[in-house]
């Protein structure tokens, strides 16, 4: 079942690449007492994700933070090494936190997984963006297949 606005965010653990290697990051620490914009991409280094989705949030990170956002987070069903390399290649350091959901456990807990086996990618996350305040889902924007509109940084800015 897909999460809905007003729902408390599910508990889970994601992985962040740090200078010391992969490190767990609990969703309780991520969301509780904070305002977070979390967006999901089907995969690091994929065309729309690399050309538009992540770059838009990198470009607008300061504007999002000026509207009270404590952290901007990119989630993908990739490993932490891939997410770390992608973040570096996109200039995301200090602007967007990249978190790995390698087995899609958290993405499945959100009910936002998709079957990309037809593309040789296995289970992935749908393209979406959400605003979470103190652990409660306030806005959820899920893209249709092949679309990129409502999960963009520009659209999220209109919701803050």
Rounded Cα gap, residues 14 and 79, in angstroms: 10
pLDDT value at residue 105: 98
Mean pLDDT of 149-159: 97
Instruction: Assign 117 a pLDDT band (cuts: 50, 70, 90).
Output: confident
Annotation marks residue 74 as catalytic:
no
Res 122: pLDDT: 77
CA distance 137 to 5: 5
pTM for this one? 0.95
Which residue ranges make up each domain of the chain?
13-159
Average pLDDT, the chain: 95
Q: Please, which pLDDT band fits residue 50 given cuts at 50, 70 and 90?
A: confident
**Token digits for 128?**
């979406």
Percent of the chain whose pLDDT exceeds 70: 100
Q: Choose which CATH entry (1.10.1740.10, 3.10.400.10, 3.40.50.2000, 3.40.30.10) describes domain 13-159.
A: 3.40.30.10
Q: Which listed residue (9, 15, 44, 49) is catalytic? A: 49
For residues 96 and 109, what is the distance between their CA atoms, to the nearest angstrom? Answer: 22
């Amino acid at each position: 079942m897909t999460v809905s606005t007003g729902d408390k965010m599910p508990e889970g653990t994601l992985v962040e690449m740090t200078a010391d290697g992969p490190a767990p990051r609990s969703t309780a620490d991520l969301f509780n007492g904070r305002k977070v914009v979390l967006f999901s991409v089907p995969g690091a280094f994929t065309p729309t994700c690399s050309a538009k989705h992540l770059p838009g949030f990198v470009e607008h990170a300061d504007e999002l933070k000026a509207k009270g956002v404590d952290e901007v987070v990119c989630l993908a069903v990739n490993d932490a090494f891939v997410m770390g390399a992608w973040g570096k290649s996109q200039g995301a350091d200090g602007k967007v936190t990249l978190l790995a959901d390698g087995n899609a456990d958290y993405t499945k807990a959100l009910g936002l997984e998709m079957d990309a086996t037809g593309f040789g990618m296995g289970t992935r996350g749908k393209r979406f963006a959400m605003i979470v305040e103190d652990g409660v889902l306030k806005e959820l924007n899920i893209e249709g297949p092949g679309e990129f509109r409502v999960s963009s940084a520009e659209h999220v800015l209109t919701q803050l």
